[in-house]
Amino acid sequence: MLSRRSLFLLMGGAAALAGAGYGASRVGEQPEPPLPPGQDRQGRLLWRNWSGLQTAYPATRAAPADEGELADILRRAEGPVRAVGSGHSFMPLVPTPGTLVTLDRMSGLAGHDPATGTATVRAGTRLVELGTALAGIGQEMANLPDINKQSLGGALATATHGTGAALPALHGNVTALRLVTAAGEVLDCDASRNPELFAAAKVGLGVFGIVTQATLRNGPLRRVERNVWLQPLEQTLAEWPALRAAHRNVEFYYLPFTDMTAVITHDETDAPATPRPPAQDNEALLDLKRLRDWLGWSPALRRRMAKLALSGLEPEKVVGESWQLLSNERPVRFNEMEYHLPLEAQPQALREVVAVIETNRPDVFFPIEARVIAPDEAWLSPFQGRMTGSIAVHAYYKDNYAFLAALVEPILRRHGGRPHWGKLNSLGTADFAALYPRFAEASALRRSLDPEGRLLNDYLRGIFAHG
């Protein structure tokens, strides 16, 4: 990442150019997005998602302590009834004028089996807390997403994933789950009990019922070596098949207007743990923003200055527990679009995304993330039936994100991508029906469980009511 000394030199040069009049059209800091009223005319309090993009004024908020209370809420509460975790989804999955349910009081381990390496976890548990809890029983999740602030229920509902050619998304290691239906019925699901509901509800969007707990197939605690280094984009794309084969976890970030990528790998090791250096990701991100602010008017100069600043950086290596190193702190807010493509289409799609952004959007500075995910068979999983390469494009929360739909999404769709359920996309019923072979069956099952659509807000009704 950009060193402070490199940044000082870079910004000094940029400031000199600006002082000479060359920076008059720089992008600059955008104003804070307007904040909606804290309550509406009926006195209902505002709910906002993490990025501030999605809002609602639910009439009722509920925090059940157990499945009995949740069942009673689902039978009696004003609809639509929607569950919320940490609010990390960018799509309108949560907003409701009816009842908003949090499972924060239904968290923690419900049990574990050392013989099978499984643990049953309540759905309100945050992933960051789950890592510590599983370590206490000698287990860890097989993979983790980049951010670990989500609740387990929310992460499963939207097919949240990590990276690794042999590693499925989080729901791929679910062996059983329990949910409460819109009618207040508590159902246990696995490969033999309610198997169709199990296949549908592992990535369920909260439309089949509210998941209260899931049994996870875990592994023993493992120490990993994390390596981070910079190299040109075309080199990374050429080496991507070998990198995927060689490393347990591998991903890379393209740094816009630099021609460079940051490659990140994690591999199991018996080496002793090393001190974890202070996280530099967020300072590096703000450095890229400063570079955008001062030199956005000249992509060529911006690229040249970035390469100078990046050229002397040393690779990073650290050894620690897998569950501590795979996820990162991401306090800088953003809005995001992520599509999951057939793996063979990922490199060309990424080239096209980079080209369209660097031709049309000098304001973009957030790195573009590329990952690999193993297939699974959940009915609504974006990874169903194929090896997948994901591409995630971010927009700073203060910046206009319309380019994601206008410029980026057409490329990702043309290459056969399926959108991350919790991230920005413009798809509807016909699109999802074409992308998911079991979509019609999932829709029919949803109708049988919730014929009145009490679990459907306006957005989900548009997808499932006639699916």
What are the extents of the domains in the chain? 47-102, 109-220, 223-419
Residue 263's DSSP bridge partners are 229, 252
* Side-chain half-sphere exposure of 96, counting CA atoms within 13 A: 27
Q: What's 345's DSSP letter?
A: G
Cβ atoms of 389 and 341 within 8 Å: the answer is: yes
Task: Please report how the helices 299-310 and 4-19 are oriented relative to each other, as an axis angle in degrees rounded to 10.
Answer: 150
Architecture of domain 109-220: 2-Layer Sandwich (3.30)
What Cα–Cα distance (Å) separates residue 408 from each residue in 15, 197, 381, 395, 400? 32, 34, 22, 12, 14
How far is 7 from 14, CA to CA, in rounded Å? 10
- As a whole number of angstroms, the longest Cα–Cα distance in the chain is 72
| Tokens found for residue 425 | 């996309």
Residue 122's DSSP bridge partners are 213
Dihedral of CA atoms 370, 315, 267, 256 in degrees, nearest 10, equals: 0
How far is 35 from 147, CA to CA, in rounded Å? 25
Which DSSP string corresponds to 87-141?
Answer: ----SSSS--SSEEEE-TTS-SEEEEETTTTEEEEETT-BHHHHHHHHHTTTEE-
In our burial notation (b when 16+ CB lie closer than 10 A, e otherwise), range 342-377 reads: ebebbbebbebbbebbbeebbbbbbbbbbbbbbebe
How far is 462 from 434, CA to CA, in rounded Å? 16
| pLDDT digits 0-9 by tens, 139-158 | 999 899 998 999 999 999 99
Cβ atoms of 82 and 96 within 8 Å: the answer is: yes
Strands 81-84 and 99-102: parallel
In our burial notation (b when 16+ CB lie closer than 10 A, e otherwise), range 17-50 reads: bbeeebbeebbeeeeeeeeeeeeeeeeeeebebb
Cβ atoms of 55 and 46 within 8 Å: the answer is: yes
CATH of domain 47-102: 3.30.43
Q: How confident is the model at residue 182, as a pLDDT?
A: 98
**What does pLDDT average to over the chain?**
93
| Tokens found for residue 202 | 């592992």
Q: Is 222 left (phi over 0), alpha (psi -120 to 50) or beta?
A: beta
Q: How confident is the model at residue 99, as a pLDDT?
A: 98
| pLDDT digits 0-9 by tens, 207-249 | 999 999 999 999 999 999 999 999 999 999 999 999 999 999 9
User: pLDDT-derived band of residue 26, with 50, 70 and 90 as boundaries?
Assistant: low
Q: How confident is the model at residue 23, as a pLDDT?
A: 46
What Cα–Cα distance (Å) separates residue 152 from each residue in 171, 225, 461? 10, 26, 24
| pLDDT digits 0-9 by tens, 288-321 | 999 999 998 899 999 999 988 888 788 999 999 9
CATH superfamily of 223-419: FAD-linked oxidases, C-terminal domain (3.40.462.10)
Q: How confident is the model at residue 7, as a pLDDT?
A: 46
How far is 98 from 452, CA to CA, in rounded Å? 14
pTM: 0.94
- Residue 252 identity: F
Whether a cis peptide bond, with omega within 30° of 0, leads into 33 is no
Which stretches of 386-463 are assigned E, i.e. beta strand? 388-396, 418-419
Q: How confident is the model at residue 14, as a pLDDT?
A: 52
| pLDDT digits 0-9 by tens, 98-112 | 999 999 999 999 999
Locus of tokens 């639910």: 58
Q: What's 406's DSSP letter?
A: I
Which DSSP string corresponds to 293-341?
Answer: HHHTT-HHHHHHHHHHHHTTPPPEEEEEEHHHHSS----S-EEEEEEEE
- Average pLDDT estimate for 62-89: 97
